[in-house]
Amino acid sequence: MPRQRRLIWLAMPRPFSLLDYYLTSIEVGLKSLPGGYRKEAAARILNPLSYPRYMEFQLALKPLLPVDGRRVLDIGSPKLPVLLLAKHTRSCELYATDIRDYFIAPTAHFLTKIGKGDRLGKDIHLCVQDARHLTYGDAFFDRIFSISVLEHVPDRGDSQAVREIARVLRPGGIVTLTVPYSHAGYREEFVSGPYTSAVKRAALSISATTIARRCNSAFLTRRACECWT
């Protein structure tokens, strides 16, 4: 392999492997057992990661890399990716959020036990946020991910959340979202309301197009058309 090509290959960001996720989860669990969150720590050891979830994490995180020097927002996702990013990045400013505060104390405990406690409140922030009403300024984030969250936002909140994501994403930034998929096509679950599925599809399409323009990403534009229209 020519030297220039080899250097380019070495500089490319390596996506996290299944082993990375497993080892991070087990390490966090083992180091966190002594403390006030033994149940959560044991879960990290006994059930580190299912393969379908690993595939979802990969699809969500790989397009965001590299994140060093970036400001990254997690909206309500499972927190293993946050732990992985904190462990393997040095200059990433990371905002991990959820609509409730249940995750803050155990995640802070986990981060402390793996030697990242000094970053809490500096470049790692654990916050309560409502995806429909984010408190961050316009174009604040370089990268955003939200894993299996939008389908849980009731009524028109999912469309509102997507518009908020577009607002806080900087021009040229990247966002990845995952939602359940059905071969049968679009269907509404868990939510009842007077609007029809066609209206909701149109609302999501508008929001997706807004994000695609902000990201300037042909891939996202294509995926938005395939998945949200």
At 82-136, the pLDDT tens digits run 999 999 988 899 999 999 999 999 999 999 999 999 999 999 999 999 999 999 9
**Which of 21-25, 46-50, 139-143, 217-221 has the lowest average pLDDT?**
217-221
Q: How far apart are CA 96 and CA 143, in angstroms?
A: 12
- Percent of the chain with pLDDT strictly greater than 70: 75
Average pLDDT, the chain: 81
The two structure tokens encoding residue 83 = 């732990």
Element spanning 225, H or E: helix 218-228
- Whether residue 148 has pLDDT greater than 80: yes
Q: 3-class DSSP state for residue 124? A: strand
In the chain, domain spans: 54-228
**Which of 1-5, 51-55, 115-119 has the lowest average pLDDT?**
1-5
- Whether residue 6 has pLDDT greater than 80: no
The pLDDT of residue 3 is 53
- Whether residue 19 has pLDDT greater than 80: yes
The pLDDT of residue 155 is 86
Q: What global pTM score does this model have?
A: 0.77
84 sits in the region (left: phi over 0; alpha: psi -120 to 50; else beta) called alpha
Q: Going by C-beta distance under 8 Å and a sequence separation of 6 or more, which residues neighbour residue 134? A: 164, 165, 167, 168
The pLDDT of residue 58 is 93
Q: Which of 50, 52, 51, 48 is nearest to 84 (CA)?
A: 48
Neighbouring-strand partners of residue 146:
177
CA-to-CA dists, residue 148 to 14, 49, 111, 166, angstroms: 24, 15, 23, 18
Q: How far apart are CA 167 and CA 197, in angstroms?
A: 25
Assign a CATH topology to domain 54-228: Rossmann fold (3.40.50)
